[in-house]
Chain A
Amino acid sequence: MIDLLVHVRDHVTLSLAALAVALAIGVPAGVAIASAPRLRDVSLAAIYVARVVPSLAVLAIMLPLVGIGFAPSLAALTLLAIPPIALGTELGLAGVPEAVREAARGLGMSEREVRRRIDWPLAMPVVFGGVRTAAVEVVASATLAAFIGGGGLGEYIVNGIEANDRTETLEGAVAVGILALATQALLTLAERRLSAFR
């Protein structure tokens, strides 16, 4: 039981760290793409391509570059989480009606006030959708970190495979599944809270 709690803690820590770094990079990237129409098509294409690279492949590529353990796992999961976050940010901001922005400027809002009072509140549901997608993917994929010594619930699966112990493998899989579903549920709830004013 203590064993399980340690693995859950490692799993969640790794996922949260990856999400935090991905937010710090993905949101500004989304803002940049949204405000540079010429950049948009190329960037979106790049994002969609990045979305189809399997996380295991990313881990394999990272291995010789950063070695094994927490750091390469974090790097790989971050790369995985950036595209949905950047995409959600871009789509959310691009979806703010031009008439609303025009009216806001006409009433005397500065560009910063338009961002803060109009753009972000209106974009938030879509941005948050991207974050939710990223979070669930990260939690599910963090399992693979165990293969390169990153710890987490994937340990059960790795150990189970090595010891040919199906029960242990299954325990790990179920635990990851529950954690991913819980993440999804929690963020959906938070999203509803956030959007309650709309």
Chain B
Amino acid sequence: MTSGGAAVDISDVVVSYPGSDRRAVDGVSLEAAAGELVVLLGPSGCGKSTLLRTINRLVVPDSGTIRIDGEDVRSSPPEALRRGIGYVIQAVGLFPHMSVGRNVGMVPELLGWERARIDARVDDLLALVQLDPARYRGRLPRELSGGEQQRVGVARAIAAEPRVLLMDEPFGAVDAIVRLALQDETLRIHRALGTTIFFVTHDVDEALRMADRIVVMNAGRIVQADTPLRLLSHPATPYVERLMDAGDAVRRLRLIAVRDAMRAPDGAATQASIDGDGTLRDALSAFLDGVERLAVTDAGAPIGSLGFDDVRHAIARTVA
């Protein structure tokens, strides 16, 4: 199940809604590399969902172009385009009159796959999102919990191996613990399939946890697009600093011991070392100095290693 991802090039996109003089999206340009996980972050009404929906043409921009692997999204009929792009929404929107299996197999069905191939694919996908196919295939959506429903929603979105996946606040309606599990699964699927993902959220911690790159939006414009580390360490504007709560995140780092965030020794190259009883704040300083990976020691003996990813995950864990 390796389909890979497509590069997405958004160029000068403007969207305005009838009856509103304010532009919902006001001249946004953004490139996503193939396989990148881009988080669109900002308050409600900042244009992040609207921008997302221009990619599968559920919203038609006033001007600007969007290219997927170099091809303008307007060059194929919208239905054909959307069958090649996964789409997950907060309200899930499972078809209530169809079984879980039929829901998951809908895009392959629309694409005219043969029944046997659809059935096999449905079982693979249910297993991928950790739902036992034999138990869940024949159930109706209303018999599932919220978390299970969104797992089905994700499976349905990736059924036809899309190279781009759009997720619009997908885990906003489930509780914190289920949300963490779903985030982990999305990251696992992302690693396994290499799909390019656009992920809309207003939750900073979710953004920090998921993103290769975070695009901070406000009032229809991009305020800053950068890696999580750069956004925390070099917020471009006071708005970003406030939104990211950068000071607070750094304060939080002082409360976490390196030994609680490290991973077991795995032979990865390290450029410096830090004591296991040190805090992640000390580790962050080293990372900002350009260190990639720290060896963690206890009384001089190596007990593990620490990278920035580990710090991010530790931050996310403190708020879950």
Contact = CB atoms under 8 A, between A and B. Distances in A.
Task: Specify whether A and B are partners.
Answer: yes
Interface of A: 97, 99-110, 113, 117-118, 121-122, 197-198
B82 interface: yes
Interface in B53-90: 56, 58, 78-84, 87, 89
Contacts of A100: 93-96
Nearest to B159: A107
A-B pairs, 6 with minimum CB distance? A103-B93, A99-B91, A108-B83, A106-B87, A108-B82, A99-B93
Given A107-B107, A107-B110, A109-B110, A97 B93 contact: yes
B303 interface: no
Contact of A104 (B84, B92, B93): B93
Given A108-B79, A108-B110, A103 B94 contact: yes
Contact of A113 (B81, B84, B110): B110
A193 to B, nearest CB: 15
A110 B83 CA distance: 11
Q: B interface, how many residues as a size bin?
A: 20 to 34
B163 interface: no
A197 B106 CA distance: 17
Contacts of B83: 107-108
B277 to A, nearest CB: 50
Contacts of B110: 107-109, 113
A113 B95 CA distance: 13
Contacts, number: 66
Given A99-B91, A107-B107, A122-B97, 17 more contacts: A97-B93, A100-B93, A102-B89, A103-B153, A106-B56, A106-B58, A106-B89, A107-B82, A107-B157, A108-B82, A108-B84, A109-B110, A110-B79, A113-B79, A121-B97, A197-B97, A198-B140
B48 interface: no
B82 A105 contact: yes
B281 interface: no
A107 B91 contact: no
7 contacts: A99-B89, A102-B89, A103-B94, A106-B87, A107-B110, A107-B156, A198-B140
Interface of B: 56, 58, 78-84, 87, 89, 91-97, 106-107, 110, 140, 153, 156-157, 166
B96 A107 contact: no
A110 B95 CA distance: 16
B169 to A, nearest CB: 12
Contacts of B166: 106
Given A99-B89, A102-B89, A113-B110, A108 B96 contact: no
- Residue among A103, A118, A121 with max Cβ neighbours from chain B (10 Å): A103
A41 B129 CA distance: 45
Given A99-B89, A99-B92, A113-B110, A105 B58 contact: yes
Nearest to B56: A106
- Residue among B106, B140, B156 with max Cβ neighbours from chain A (10 Å): B106
Nearest to B153: A103
B95 A104 contact: yes
A115 B108 CA distance: 19
A97 B89 CA distance: 13
Contacts of B78: 108
A109 B82 CA distance: 8
A109 B78 CA distance: 9
Contacts of B89: 99, 102-103, 106
B152 to A, nearest CB: 11
B96 A122 contact: yes
B281 to A, nearest CB: 43
Given A99-B92, A113-B110, A107 B87 contact: yes
- Residue among B82, B89, B93, B166 with max Cβ neighbours from chain A (10 Å): B93
A191 B78 CA distance: 36
A189 B78 CA distance: 41
- Residue among B83, B91, B166 with max Cβ neighbours from chain A (10 Å): B91
